[in-house]
């Protein structure tokens, strides 16, 4: 969906404020779990002050309450900066009459999130910004999931994130805001690590941080986006069907067609889901996390396809390879057994599962050779 919005933005499809409201904002609200067809939940042209007909919020969101949860002011594309102070005053006045915990200003491309229930000037209540076209798609999805989704708001998580962010010092905010930027720089420059990119950006902004501070900031960011880099304990084999590696299943002799990458696991989402058990080539395991799932799958396929395993390096992402003999070629490299190859483990849960199926397909195996049993994380 984000890709489609960006594509329409690039061809100037959104001509006015109404296009932005319907084509971008309501679309994202629906994706975030809100019933945009129920006025009791998503109220357009809401009167914040019932005594003044002129004071109407573009969109008010209600979550299990008669009180508004969020106010959203929509502007035409590119106009948010020119009218920012005026719009902030407008939202401040709305919240004086009928307070909503969250307020959002957006022109469809740029988004500014405010937590109304804190002290200070309204402009100081902004705890998060997002740019759909400039930020990475994963970062955009993470922001929407964390601060705009119905689940995050009703569970209190969005409020918790907002309050925690507003408590940060200026240095901490600079570091936190720079983490996703550093990630994109590292993706574009194979000679620069995520940690070093973060250190350099913060230095340019007037704040010096060491490698440990950078690693901690990246770890915190990754834990929120379900990309936490966890230790890789040995997988527990719960169904012993141990056979010599020479008897492991071989690639089907007549099966030459690979599964198209675009069709692999496209609809599944493993974010915030815990692996209970997997069955890999008929053998059951209990990986402790998704990184271990990736390493386990890679190692098994290496054992079966040693002579052809170099083909794994043909699997590439947008910016970097998934597999390589060079550590610098992949993000957060982990060795695949004694193969001499590394696999990048700095991926989301959904991406890791997709990579596993891509690897299976590359060597002629089928999706049923890897079966996952998962449950919603508590």
DSSP 316: B
- Half-sphere exposure for 221 (CA within 13 Å, toward CB): 25
Confidence of residue 279 (pLDDT cuts 50, 70, 90): very high
pLDDT at 284: 92
Could you tell me which residues are beta bridge partners of residue 285?
237, 278
CATH code of the domain made up of 236-376: 1.20.1380.10
- The model's pTM: 0.51
Structure confidence by residue, pLDDT tens digits, 76-135: 888 888 888 888 988 888 888 778 889 999 998 999 999 988 877 888 888 888 888 887
Closest Cα to residue 258, out of 323, 339, 304, 312? 312
More confident site: 188 or 256: 188
Strands (E), 126-257: 126-131, 236-239
CB atoms within 10 A of CB 205: 13
pLDDT at 312: 95
Structure confidence by residue, pLDDT tens digits, 285-340: 999 888 899 999 999 999 999 999 999 999 987 667 899 998 888 878 899 999 99
pLDDT averaged over every residue in the chain: 80
Confidence of residue 240 (pLDDT cuts 50, 70, 90): very low
Structure confidence by residue, pLDDT tens digits, 163-219: 887 777 677 878 888 888 888 777 766 667 888 888 988 888 888 888 888 888 887
Burial label for 252, CB within 10 Å (0-12, 13-18, 19+), is exposed
Residue with tokens 């049923």: 368
Average pLDDT on 343-364 reads: 88
Sign of CA dihedral 217, 218, 222, 223: negative
Angle at 197 between CA 193 and CA 199, to 5 degrees: 120
pLDDT at 54: 67
Average pLDDT on 63-85 reads: 86
Average pLDDT on 278-283 reads: 92
Q: Is 307 helix (H, G, I), strand (E, B) or coil?
A: helix
What backbone phi and psi angles, to 5 degrees, belong to 32? -85, 5
Report long-range pairs for 165-172 (Cβ below 8 Å, ≥24 apart).
165/127, 165/128, 166/115, 166/118, 166/125, 166/127, 171/207, 171/209
Query: Do 235 and 292 meet the contact criterion of CB atoms below 8 Å apart?
Result: yes
Structure tokens at 368: 């049923």
Query: Do 285 and 236 meet the contact criterion of CB atoms below 8 Å apart?
Result: yes
Structure confidence by residue, pLDDT tens digits, 24-50: 999 999 988 899 999 999 999 888 776
Angle at 96 between CA 91 and CA 100, to 5 degrees: 65
Integer Cα distance of 155 and 164 in angstroms: 16
What architecture does CATH give domain 2-166? Alpha-Beta Complex (3.90)
């Amino acid at each position: 969906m984000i890709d489609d919005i960006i594509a329409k933005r690039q061809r100037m499809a959104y001509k006015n404020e109404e296009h932005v409201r319907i084509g971008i904002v309501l679309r994202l609200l629906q994706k975030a779990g809100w019933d945009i067809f129920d006025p009791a939940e998503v109220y357009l042209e809401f009167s914040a002050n019932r005594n003044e007909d002129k004071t109407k919020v573009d969109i008010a969101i209600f979550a299990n309450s008669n009180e508004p949860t969020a106010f959203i002011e929509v502007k035409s594309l590119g106009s948010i900066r020119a009218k920012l102070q005026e719009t902030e005053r407008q939202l401040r006045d709305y919240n004086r009459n009928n307070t909503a915990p969250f307020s959002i200003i957006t022109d469809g491309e740029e988004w500014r999130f405010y937590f109304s229930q804190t002290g200070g000037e309204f402009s100081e209540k902004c705890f998060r910004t997002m740019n759909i076209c400039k930020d990475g798609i994963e970062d955009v999805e993470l922001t929407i999931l964390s601060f705009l989704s119905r689940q995050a708001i009703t569970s209190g998580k969005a409020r918790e994130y907002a309050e925690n962010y507003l408590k940060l010092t200026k240095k901490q905010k600079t570091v936190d805001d720079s983490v996703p930027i550093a990630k994109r720089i590292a993706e574009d420059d194979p000679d620069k690590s995520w940690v070093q990119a973060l250190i350099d950006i913060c230095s340019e902004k007037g704040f010096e941080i060491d490698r440990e501070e950078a690693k901690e900031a990246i770890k915190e960011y990754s834990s929120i986006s379900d990309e936490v880099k966890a230790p890789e304990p040995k997988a527990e084999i719960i169904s012993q069907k141990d056979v010599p590696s020479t008897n492991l299943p071989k690639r089907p002799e007549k099966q030459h067609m690979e599964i198209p990458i675009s069709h692999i696991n496209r609809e599944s989402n493993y974010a915030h889901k815990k692996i209970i058990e997997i069955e890999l080539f008929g053998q059951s395991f209990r990986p402790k996390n998704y990184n271990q799932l990736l390493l386990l799958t890679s190692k098994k396929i290496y054992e079966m396809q040693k002579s052809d395993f170099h083909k794994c390096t043909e699997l590439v992402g947008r910016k970097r390879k998934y597999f390589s003999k060079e550590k610098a070629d992949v993000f957060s490299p982990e060795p695949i057994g004694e193969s001499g190859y590394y696999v990048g483990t700095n991926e989301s849960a959904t991406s890791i599962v997709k990579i596993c199926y891509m690897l299976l397909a590359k060597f002629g195996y089928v999706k049923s050779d890897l079966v996952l049993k998962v449950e919603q994380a508590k």
